Amino acid sequence: MKKQLVKWSQSVLKRLLNMDQKHVIEHLKKKGLTVGNNFHMQEGCIIDGAHSNHIVIGNDVSLAPNVHILAHDASTWWFLEHTRIMNTTIGNKVFIGAGSIIMPGVTIGNEVIIGAGSVVTKNVPDNCVYAGNPAKFLMHTNEYIDRERAKMNAENTFDESYSESQNVSTEKKEHLKKMAAKYGAAFLK
């Protein structure tokens, strides 16, 4: 009974967090935020609410937890009595890793991956992987994807039945963990 209650509580909490995020995005859209189709934002993300009309997010974009997207810089206020506002754009088919910060005025191109913990201070061209503080070019996205695809095999590639959202069994969790250890990574649909 206790185990069922915990699962139910986690499920309700997850739905509430997702509803809250959807509410936030809808509120920001009313304030001028532009967001394309297939946008996913995990918990803890902050999209500059005061200046969301200066932010454009394309199609097929995922923000991992605690990503910040900014369009203003208030550091000028005490000196100029004005806040600096800049347009921030994120292209199509972009993944931004956990804890990353996208600074005001940055344009991120299409088919881009930003590594976790990055601070993006300059524009990022199409088909690039950037990471670090400040974020720097690591390789082209297609090179990274080809490299990762080459690591996939029948033993370390898993379907949705192994996903936490499917209440995966302990046995499946252990199997996934074992294959990740054996091959250095596992791939989950």
Active site residues: 72
Cis peptide before 134 (omega within 30 of 0): yes
Q: Are 161 and 172 in contact (CB under 8 A)?
A: yes
Residue 37 CB-density burial (10 A; 0-12 exposed, 13-18 middle, 19+ buried): exposed
DSSP H or E segment with residue 29: helix 2-30
Checking phi first, is residue 127 left (phi over 0); if not, alpha (psi -120 to 50) or beta?
left
Q: What's the token pair of residue 115? A: 């590594």
13 contacts: CB under 8 Å, gap ≥ 6: none
